[in-house]
Amino acid sequence: MAVYQYEAMNSVGQVVKSEVEANTSEEAVTKIRAMGHFPTKIKERAARKTPQATTVRRGQAKAAQRRRVGHVSGKLLTQFTRQLSTLQDAGLPILRSLRILEQQQKPGMLRIAIRMVADDVEGGSTLSEAMAKYPKAFDNLYTNMVAAGEAGGVLDVVLRRLAEFMESSQRLKRRIIGAMIYPAAVVSFAVLIVMGIMIFIIPKFQKIFTEFGAKLPGVTMALMNMSTWVKGGGWLVIVGFPFGVFLVLKLMRQAQSGRYFVDMLKLKLPILGKILSKTGIARFTRTLGTLLSAGVPILEALTITRETTGNEVFTRALIKVHDGIREGEDFAAPLRQARIVEPMVVNMIDVGEETGELDKMLSRIADNYEEEVQTMVTGMVSMLEPVMVITLGVIVGFIVIAIFMPLPTLIQSMQGR
């Protein structure tokens, strides 16, 4: 009988590491579950290293030193996950599937990552262990779901669910970015045009008014002063202001308290705060529902989810939920006390717990909130269009009035001469 090393979660959510003797990995999983544990990692202990294995490991080390794996685009990773799920569903061995997908990829970071993962799998690592070595390409959520699929013998199903989760996230992200491109472009061009008028056009009128020595109205003087300020370096302040705000927020997010303050401030913004709040709810419910449907224990699933929320407010709330469940409470009670979601969400989660379909209920919540986010973003963009038109009209009208108000006085003074 072979000896299998494993990591598992016990009934209270603690990590257990040990060994078990079995003829096959399936038999080892059965024995571990009979102990009341949920296996997350399992592999056969190697008896000794062969020269060939040593050569492979040295080659892997050299490859890792030559080029480290960096960030992989979400779109490419989603396609890879969907393709790997299809190959696993067809019954192909994991190593052969990885080699096939490596050949199909264009030269880039993902192709390097797949090659290195395949080399590690060939060297005896499990797929999740190999992927965990490259966190920039495969994050914690990804590797934990793969580990759950391997432990439960349903890797193809888990990969399919993971692909669906990633496709949903990408779809929501594309909708939000696509909706914001138009107003961002209009505002940027409007600012550039107004700055151009202030720098090149207004000074010429100012020179004419100065030559005639006309007494200028207060509106015209205000416009001339603004033009002088913009031309004298104010344009740097206007252009650099967004970058300065971005830099300050980034520096504040270096500290945990700063991250909490910034994220709380975002959620308090009018209109945009509601969109960010609903997006956060959709993200954490989708992530948690996907993990639970893959068979990950709820405590471990909450730990992974809180690390991938992207918002410190939701992270702290999920920590309270995690601690409450560990102390024996249900899911809904600590979530209701955290006050980060609407009562409807808490009630739906409560129903999901009672019916034993919490994962499906979380997915439904995510679907509803993603639709609400799309509707709110579309409505906000529709509202921004007339607001931008009115704002531009006011700016242009102010410039025109300020320039033409001194003209009657100038004409009279010319006729008097």
pLDDT tens string 273-305: 888 888 888 888 888 888 888 777 888 888 888
* Residue 59's pLDDT band (cuts 50, 70, 90): low
pLDDT for the residue numbered 256: 79
The two structure tokens encoding residue 374: 């799309």
pLDDT in tens, 105-158: 888 888 888 888 888 888 888 888 888 888 888 887 788 778 877 876 778 888
Alpha-carbon gap, residue 165 to 289, rounded angstroms: 10
Q: 3-class SS at 92? A: coil
Do domains 1-46 and 49-138 share one topology? The answer is: no
pLDDT in tens, 367-395: 898 888 888 888 887 888 788 888 888 98
240-242-245 Cα angle (round to 5): 105
54 has pLDDT over 60: no
In words, the CATH class of domain 49-138 is mainly alpha
Alpha-carbon gap, residue 407 to 417, rounded angstroms: 15
Asked whether 224 and 206 are in contact (CB, 8 A), the reply is yes
pTM, two decimal places: 0.63
CATH architecture assignment, domain 1-46: Roll (3.10)
Domain spans in the chain, listed from the N-terminal domain onward: 1-46, 49-138, 156-417
Q: What percent of the chain has pLDDT over 90?
A: 1
Distance of CA 120 to the CA centre of its chain: 28
Asked whether 60 and 119 are in contact (CB, 8 A), the reply is yes
Alpha-carbon gap, residue 353 to 350, rounded angstroms: 5
Q: Output the CA–CA distances (angstroms, integers) from residue 370 to 187, 255, 359, in the order listed.
A: 27, 30, 17
46 has pLDDT over 80: no
pLDDT for the residue numbered 65: 40
Alpha-carbon gap, residue 81 to 138, rounded angstroms: 11
Alpha-carbon gap, residue 340 to 323, rounded angstroms: 16
Other CB atoms within 10 Å distance of the CB of residue 307: 15
Stretch 192-212: mean pLDDT: 86
Mean pLDDT, rounded, of the chain: 82
Buried b (16+ CB within 10 A) or exposed e, 171-199: ebeeeeeebeeebeeeeeeeeeebbebbe
Q: 3-class SS at 67? A: coil
pLDDT for the residue numbered 66: 38
90-94-97 Cα angle (round to 5): 65
For the domain covering 156-417, report its CATH number.
1.20.81.30
If we measure between CA atoms, which residue out of 180, 205, 195, 260 comes closest to residue 229? 195
pLDDT for the residue numbered 9: 75
Of 65 and 203, more confident: 203
pLDDT for the residue numbered 62: 43
Alpha-carbon gap, residue 130 to 122, rounded angstroms: 10
